[in-house]
Amino acid sequence: MNFMRTAVLMAAMSAIFVAVGALLGGQTGILIALLVAAGTNFYAYWNSDKMALASNGAQEVDESTAPELVQMVALLAQRANMPMPRVYVVHEDQPNAFATGRNPENAAVAVNTGLVAMLTREELAGVIAHELAHIKNRDTLTMTITATLAGAISSIAQWGMIFGGNRNNNGMGMIGTIALAILAPLAAMVVQMAISRSREYVADQMGAEICGNPVWLASALAKISGDAAVIPNQAAEANPAMAHMFIINPLTGQGMDNLFSTHPNVANRIAALDDLARQMGISGYMEGYAADFGGQSTSGPWQGAGDRDTSKWGQRRGPWG
């Protein structure tokens, strides 16, 4: 099912590529677009994880540089019965996280330093479990390929606007090309939305099951959604096609790229997690998270929220830069 979804997505994005090429350059444009789409799909399949990590300035960590984080990922991966992914840290104040990789054997989880500094151990476990769920479901392949193709579609449309099209070659002329430069990225965004919105709910549920308590993820979403909306993420703002990869929309609403959200409403996600918590016999987030976590240990592999020293996460030292 996941393979079929990825194939349909790649076909849809490729079709947009071909349509853009046809409108810009007629038959020649179709041929060029087909070649570019094929090359982009091939490159994205094998290298999309490297591109996503590099574009966000992610730096790999291990047990010697981030022992608590790496050990948490290892334990959650074991609980999810999946291979241990590589672990990365991004020096961004915005609290956020994403996962990438073409399959569970070649995957990575990246967390912003702002996320680690803000959340309790339980809440961080909920976020990481959510990202592991994306990896286990192979959503990461779909998301990273979508980001690559959407960015390429935007680029080819913008180049078409610069060169103005060619009426003698069945092109659209300047006015049509300007319209295409606006509509083509929006069409790619609609394809992204169709995939990513539903997958977030699935990853929320599976992530809650992996970490052992839906309330942890619900609380994390409530905490980080507000700050993510006001703290800029420069890498995401520069490459908005990758916004759907993050657990919370990283765009702060500056410009056209945020007209459509690639993420479900946070309140709806929390409500769904509350329902799941009640089904598991756990008090929901809305029913009094503070009472349940007031220094008390709860179900799952973690021993209480507590206050831990997070100062090291904000320092650029060792292999982190």
Residue numbers annotated as active site = 131
- The answer to whether 71 and 61 have CB atoms below 8 angstroms apart is no
The Cα 299–Cα 316 span in angstroms is: 34
Q: Which residue matches tokens 């709806």?
A: 268
What are the φ and ψ backbone dihedral angles of 109, each rounded to 5 degrees? Answer: -115, 130
Structure tokens at 128: 């990481």
> Quick one: CA dihedral 316, 85, 130, 102, positive or negative?
positive
What residues are paired with 112 via a beta bridge? 90
The number of CA neighbours under 13 Å toward the Cβ of 251 is 20
**Burial class, 279, CB count within 10 angstroms (exposed 0-12 / middle 13-18 / buried 19+):** exposed
- The answer to whether 114 and 17 have CB atoms below 8 angstroms apart is no
The number of CA neighbours under 13 Å toward the Cβ of 54 is 6
- The answer to whether 200 and 225 have CB atoms below 8 angstroms apart is no
Structure tokens at 43: 């490159």
The Cα 37–Cα 136 span in angstroms is: 27
- Residue 109 is given by DSSP the state E
The Cα 21–Cα 301 span in angstroms is: 53
